[in-house]
Amino acid sequence: MPGTGTSRSNPRENINMATTWLDISSLYGSTTDVAHRLRSKVDGKLLTQEVQSPGTRAKASYLPFNTMGVPTNTRPGVEPEGLFVGGDPRTNEDWLLLGIHTLLLREHNRLCDILKKQKPGWDDEQLYQTMRLVMSAKHALIANAYQMAYWTEKMPWPRDDGFPLYRQMFGENALEINPANTYPWPLVTKNGKPMTVSAGMAVVYRFHEFIIPNFPIKDQNNETLWEQNLFDTSFNSTGFLNAGLERILAGALSSHIPNFKSGLDESFRSAGLYRGRPFDIVVSSIVHEREQGLPTFNQYFREYNAQDPEVVVPIRVIWDKFSTDPEDIENPKKLYKHPDDVDLVVGCQLVLL
């Protein structure tokens, strides 16, 4: 952001000012206006449409269509009013993303029914805000499970120590900055707004390797009805309803992720115009990382090791230290002049291959 990044007291700020907390803004929205448009204003629940999809015995809740004018991404020839509405403009980009959003919607409203029975005197606002907090906590647990699966004993960050950069930034020891000792945690707020270490968000919460080119559509007997190309599902709300959430999620759960920890499937990167415009997720991620001023892989772990963590991460001073497979380091050697230049996320993925 212009005017920032001039000193330690005025660090670089991102243009994206959406909250960095794991608050499921993809479901609830990042602004007060969007959040209000998505609410039913009854019993704390979110708006839905009730549809009976193939293979089911009764109607079930789906995201409503975007009749309330919430900003959403689309592609040429597809009107926003014919797409589902969610808290994030990317809601309709593929069926797997839509499936998760729909599942979260159902869970929010299901829990509202339970809470209303337990707290019959609560109004809509109390029910909504409480369930939003509960859902955010559940989402954080899911994200942490992914984090624990990603890292290893030899490459432990941030499982070994989640606070090294905070200590570097603020000059405090682990006990002094531990949120259990300083609640509400002042180090994750700035001017009253949530903040986070960009390195943590860049490395820990990148789910691109979960994106697969194809997945099966399954019936209630777990039989494959057809193989679905993921990128053909973009901005296709009618097809989503015709297939049905249950069939889509059953297929997703039975799918194998062949490139877990390796970044992403090349078919996703090469999908090109599936969003309606040229897009390269690898380039976008690296540019996004550099715009935030993240350190390179070696810069980061030199500072990390200086904090005396339980597990010291070796600095990759030569290319062979990133990987023992010559093919894995062939392209980085062409793209970077020196191992010290390797971007943080690229280095982590090389080491974790």
Q: What is the pLDDT of residue 239?
A: 96
pLDDT above 50 for 145: yes
Q: What is the pLDDT of residue 180?
A: 43
pLDDT above 80 for 341: yes
Element of type H or E holding 301:
helix 297-306
pLDDT above 50 for 148: yes
Predicted confidence band of residue 42 (pLDDT cuts 50, 70, 90)? very high
Q: What is the pLDDT of residue 231?
A: 84
Please give the Cα distance from 352 to 348 (Å, whole number): 6
Q: What is the pLDDT of residue 16?
A: 59
Please give the Cα distance from 139 to 307 (Å, whole number): 30
pLDDT above 90 for 108: yes
Average the pLDDT over 143-165 and give the result. Answer: 59
Average the pLDDT over 285-298 and give the result. Answer: 82
pLDDT above 70 for 196: no
Q: 204-248 pLDDT, tens per residue? A: 556 666 677 889 999 989 999 999 998 889 999 999 999 999 999
Q: What is the pLDDT of residue 185?
A: 46
Average the pLDDT over 133-144 and give the result. Answer: 80
Please give the Cα distance from 247 to 257 (Å, whole number): 18
Q: What is the pLDDT of residue 188?
A: 52
- Is 208 part of any known ligand binding site? yes
Q: Do the beta carbons of residue 203 and residue 348 sit within 8 Å?
A: yes
Query: pLDDT averaged over the chain?
Result: 81
Between 228 and 146, name the one with better pLDDT: 228
Enter the CATH code of domain 17-150+212-257. Answer: 1.10.640.10
Nearest to 240 by CA among 39, 47, 95, 70: 95
Between 248 and 7, name the one with better pLDDT: 248
Q: What is the pLDDT of residue 212?
A: 78
Q: 43-95 pLDDT, tens per residue? A: 999 999 999 988 888 999 999 999 999 999 998 889 999 999 999 998 998 99
**CA 197 to each of CA 13, 114, 167, 316: distance values in angstroms, whole numbers, following the listed order:** 11, 36, 11, 23
In the chain, what percentage of residues exceed pLDDT 90? 40
Residues of the chain with CATH 1.10.640.10: 17-150+212-257
